[in-house]
Amino acid sequence: MVDLSTYCNAQCPQCHRTDQEDISKRAYWLPLVQWSLKTFQKRFPQLSLHSYRNMSLCGTWGDPMMNKDIFKIIEYILSHSNIILTVNTNGSMRDETFWWELGMLDYKYNHRLNVIFDIDGITQEQHATYRVGTELDKVLEHMQAYSETGARAKAFTIVFKHNEDDVKEIAKLAYSNGACRLYIQPSNRFDKNPDTFRYIQKNKIKNLHPSTKYTKFKEIILSEEIYNDEKNKMLFF
């Protein structure tokens, strides 16, 4: 797993980079840094890439798609190895052209790029309850543009009390905007208090509550079946 950047356009309340005392800020001790293509090439010279089968660009301290050289870094990895590359992103940054071109890169290198977009609700309000600072419409547009090239987009939902009843609808929304899989992850960041996670947003105390319906990670292959009520039950529970 490689973390390429501490930059992010979002302020997810339970993220390691977010200051829970004021989620518009990042943790005070976290510097803003990002790897350039040159730094990446120094750490992973061409020949070294052959020793990896998989690589994940997953943001623990920031979103990889905020890195200014991300397109070049992805192309460098895919063009000099057989690595299956996975990138997790909130997907709300950049524009449709960027995501379409990224999909074309996946096509050029034999579908070895997995991009996983965060979709946490069926409305902007529900989505941004956790993905604060991101726009659901943009994420869906970007996922659609990416998948229109033939690239297989995937979606990821962190489940809480506020969205657990709509997971099936989230699956339909993801499918109709190009996703072929949905990963469902109940939030597991309720260490201090198992029932409530408190944080401050715009000078107001807010609370997140854990899901009571979903307790385990689940992967769902999206297909026309998600529109079938009977099979829905088997797929989601």
Min dist. Cβ of residue 131 to ligand SF4 (A) = 7
Stretch that binds ligand SF4, among 56-64, 137-145, 209-217, 226-234 (CB under 6 A): 56-64
Does residue 90 belong to the site contacting ligand SF4 (CB under 6 A)?
yes
Rounded CA gap, 143 and 153, in Å? Answer: 6
Rounded CA gap, 57 and 61, in Å? Answer: 11
Instruction: Kindly tell me which of 154 and 168 has the beta carbon lying closer to ligand SF4.
Output: 154
Stretch that binds ligand SF4, among 13-21, 47-55, 105-113, 182-190 (CB under 6 A): 13-21
Total number of residues binding ligand SF4 (CB under 6 A)?
A: 11
Q: How many CA atoms lie within 13 Å of 99's alpha carbon, on the beta-carbon side?
A: 27
Pick the closest to residue 217 from 136, 158, 138, 147 (CA basis). Answer: 158
Looking at 19, 40, 49, 59, which residue binds ligand SF4 (CB under 6 A)?
Answer: 59
Pick the closest to residue 113 from 137, 146, 90, 138 (CA basis). Answer: 146
Rounded CA gap, 38 and 149, in Å? Answer: 29
Q: Which two tokens stand for residue 82?
A: 């057989």
Looking at 19, 40, 57, 62, which residue binds ligand SF4 (CB under 6 A)?
Answer: 62
Instruction: Kindly tell me which of 59 and 210 has the beta carbon lying closer to ligand SF4.
Output: 59
Q: Following CA atoms 36, 42, 44, 50 in sequence, which dihedral angle do they give, to the nearest 10 degrees?
A: 130
Looking at 17, 127, 154, 168, which residue binds ligand SF4 (CB under 6 A)?
Answer: 17
b/e map 28-45, b = 16+ CB within 10 Å: eeeeeebbebeebbeebe
Instruction: Kindly tell me which of 83 and 87 has the beta carbon lying closer to ligand SF4.
Output: 87
Does residue 67 belong to the site contacting ligand SF4 (CB under 6 A)?
no
Does residue 208 belong to the site contacting ligand SF4 (CB under 6 A)?
no
Stretch that binds ligand SF4, among 10-18, 101-109, 142-150, 175-183 (CB under 6 A): 10-18
Does residue 4 belong to the site contacting ligand SF4 (CB under 6 A)?
no
Which runs of E-coded beta strand occur in 83-211? 84-89, 113-118, 153-159, 179-186, 197-201, 204-208
Instruction: Kindly tell me which of 12 and 174 has the beta carbon lying closer to ligand SF4.
Output: 12
- CB-CB neighbours of 85 under 10 Å: 21
Stretch that binds ligand SF4, among 5-13, 36-44, 70-78, 214-222 (CB under 6 A): 5-13
Looking at 35, 49, 63, 168, which residue binds ligand SF4 (CB under 6 A)?
Answer: 63
b/e map 197-226, b = 16+ CB within 10 Å: bebeeeeeeeebebbeebeeebebebeeeb
Query: Which residues would be at the binding site for ligand SF4 (CB under 6 A)?
Result: 8, 10-12, 15, 17-18, 59, 62-63, 90
